[in-house]
Amino acid sequence: MFERLREDIDCVFERDPAARNGFEVLTTYPGLHAVLMHRAAHALWTRGLKWLARLLSNLARLFTGIEIHPSARIGRRLFIDHGMGVVIGETAVVGDDCTLYHGVTLGGISWNKGKRHPTLGRHVVVGAGAKVLGPIEIGDGARIGSNSVVVKSVPAGVTIVGVPGHVVEPPAADETYERRTLTAQRIGFDAYGATKDAPDPVANAVNLMLDHIHILDQRIEALSQILEEQGICGHFDHLPDLRACEIQSARDETKTGKRSDASAQAGA
């Protein structure tokens, strides 16, 4: 028992930089309290004391804001960060080393008896407000983005975002990523709004358009060189620097506006 408790406290330190010491974690973290109380409630449930199990579960919800059905099966080292509004249904299964953020629902979509809640593999991360619904399976290492709604099984190791949830585009190859980064620096668009670690489906669509423009630019340049060599037309001037269409952030625009106002007041 004490070994499991030590594991639960250690996993908080691994995943929450705000944790300062073991006593603070043990006494003030509702996610840890909910997991500990669920273990007691689950033990009562499996021994046939279902009313007592539900009573303990309701008390846990009252004090932590986290509702875990006593019948749900929870693996080792589950970390529920913040926790308010988390709901884990009766037939849900959560694997080892999973992380759930506030507002997560592992719910059902049917009133029929039997398996109707999701099964999470190992090392799954479910972002704040996400809803994972139905008797589906979430593969090991999968990540579900905040406020996503997932109603279909998810392969291992992928990232799911959106409503309904869909797999985001895998990270680009290193050569493509480096080229995109260099182009981004030229036009003032930070890596097309996407990074390897946080893919964005909208940014990926922009990436495809910019890649297409890049290829067209290369072809036009090659055609212009051939036309010059054959004497069909004169020399083509190079296009102006792409910095002319640099995208400014709202913060930069605010600073520019303040400088303009200051200049106007100085002129007055």
Q: How far is CA 102 from CA 85, 130, 241, 242, in A?
A: 6, 9, 46, 43
For residues 121 and 140, is the Cβ–Cβ distance under 8 A? yes
**Joined tokens for residue 135:** 């008797």
Q: Assess whether pLDDT exceeds 60 at residue 56.
A: yes
Pick the residue with more confidence: 266 or 135?
Answer: 135
Helix axes 201-229, 174-187, angle to 10 degrees: 80
Average pLDDT over residues 49-77: 93
Helix axes 30-46, 2-15, angle to 10 degrees: 140
- Evaluate if pTM is beyond 0.75: no
Q: What is the pLDDT of residues 225-264, one digit of tens each?
A: 888 888 777 766 666 554 444 444 444 555 555 555 555 5
For residues 50 and 66, is the Cβ–Cβ distance under 8 A? no
Sequence length of the chain is 268
Q: What is the pLDDT of residues 98-142, one digit of tens each?
A: 999 999 999 988 888 889 999 999 999 998 999 999 999 999 888
Q: How far is CA 161 from CA 142, 158, 183, in A?
A: 11, 10, 26
Q: Assess whether pLDDT exceeds 60 at residue 217.
A: yes
Q: For tokens 């099964």, what's the residue?
A: 119
